[in-house]
Amino acid sequence: MQKKRVFLTRTLHEFALKELRKKYQIEIHSGKIPIPKNILKNKIKTIDGLICFPYDKIDKKMMDLAANLKVISTYSVGFDHIDISHAIKKKIRVGYTPEVLTDATANLAFTLILDVMRRVSEGDKIIRSGKWRQIYGAYDYVGIDLQGKTLGILGLGRIGSTLAKRVKAFDMKIIYHNRKRVSKSKEKALGIKYVSQEKLFTQSDIISIHVPHTEQTDALFDSKVFKKMKKSAFLINTARGKIIKEKDLVSALKKKTIAGAGLDVFESEPIGKNHPLIKISNVVLAPHIGSSTKETREQMARITVKNLNLGLSGKKPIYSVGY
């Protein structure tokens, strides 16, 4: 019997490829990343399964070219790059990788909070550029304490909740906003207080974003919101870049409308050396590494393969969106 055809828009761990090769006829894109649209358009016509990444846009037009496609398995928790309602219409299963990356991403959010507030990366750059000339002055490289400050968590899903657990040990006040208020017992266990989105903007000393990128959250953080935030506030984003209007953030950081930011995601990735954020010192930049630990990335690969296997045998992936 002819093996099913699986296409990967980028390579995965060797153990995952080994498993895929046993079962399927696989092809891996090895050229430019993200895969150019015309190459994917051509490949998608004949394949049964697709393994993709969060920057591969799988929209209606792309899916309509697919004659046999049964499953799209994305190596990410985010699925805003896939037109889910169209996949449902076409009865294409969509698998994704939540849960396994919760700890890694929450830990990175917390790392960015500490880094930007204690100016670690900024200091590192100063030392490396040979500009550390005097030691231990009263006003040198002073950061901000965490204890007593208010952390505002926007989106209390898995990652937002885990961040709350981490922060509890730092004697901070935690407020949150979520589409749906969580149970009183969960609020008590995490030591968190529900507030309106507006209050979260105005009362937080640090805002950490943990909502998906949707029509409602697109460019949610713009100049109007920055003006509502405390001048001393920090903004942390490990969710999706497009939730922040980057142009407005650059201007808010330059004008000190807010105190600083820690960013793992950007409107368009990767950002180059001429990006306006590069020249700003009160921002810590990470190259989209929320889930990037050895253990987490391996788990993600395992789930991506499992989701694909299930979809190709006509079953629902273990982590499935829509159909």
Residues that bind ligand DGY (CB under 6 A): 54, 76-78, 101, 288, 290-291
The count of residues in the chain is 323
Closest distance to ligand DGY from the beta carbon of 80 (Å): 9
Closest distance to ligand DGY from the beta carbon of 74 (Å): 8
* Helix or strand holding residue 253 (H, E): helix 246-254
- At which residue do the structure tokens 């309602």 appear? 85
Answer whether 160's CB lies under 8 Å from 210's CB: yes
What are phi and psi for residue 158, nearest 5 degrees? Answer: -60, -50
Which among 124, 80, 31 has a CA at the least distance from the CA of 265?
80
Q: How many CB atoms lie within 10 A of CB 307?
A: 28
User: Does 179 participate in catalysis according to the annotation?
Assistant: no
For residues 44 and 66, give the distance between their C-alpha atoms in angstroms, rounded to a whole number.
5
Closest distance to ligand DGY from the beta carbon of 265 (Å): 7
Looking at beta carbons only, is 203 or 304 nearer to ligand DGY?
304
What is the CA 203 to chain-centroid distance, rounded?
24
**Cβ neighbours for 162, distance < 8 A, ≥ 6 positions apart:** 102, 103, 106
User: Does 240 participate in catalysis according to the annotation?
Assistant: yes
Catalytic residue among 29, 119, 288, 297: 288
CA atoms within 13 Å, Cβ hemisphere of 156? 27
User: Does 29 participate in catalysis according to the annotation?
Assistant: no
Looking at beta carbons only, is 155 or 290 nearer to ligand DGY?
290
Catalytic residue among 27, 198, 269, 295: 269
Answer whether 304's CB lies under 8 Å from 101's CB: no
Closest distance to ligand DGY from the beta carbon of 77 (Å): 4
What the block records as the tokens of 218 is: 């697109």
Catalytic residue among 93, 119, 213, 240: 240
Answer whether 91's CB lies under 8 Å from 305's CB: no
* Helix or strand holding residue 262 (H, E): strand 260-263
Closest distance to ligand DGY from the beta carbon of 266 (Å): 11
Looking at beta carbons only, is 203 or 291 nearer to ligand DGY?
291
Looking at beta carbons only, is 111 or 291 nearer to ligand DGY?
291
Closest distance to ligand DGY from the beta carbon of 258 (Å): 23
Looking at beta carbons only, is 40 or 101 nearer to ligand DGY?
101
Residue 66's SS3 state is: coil
Identify the DSSP state of 4: P
Looking at beta carbons only, is 203 or 296 nearer to ligand DGY?
296
Looking at beta carbons only, is 115 or 205 nearer to ligand DGY?
115
Closest distance to ligand DGY from the beta carbon of 172 (Å): 25
Which among 35, 53, 158 has a CA at the least distance from the CA of 96?
53
For residues 63 and 67, give the distance between their C-alpha atoms in angstroms, rounded to a whole number.
9
For residues 118 and 136, give the distance between their C-alpha atoms in angstroms, rounded to a whole number.
15
Catalytic residue positions?
A: 240, 269, 288
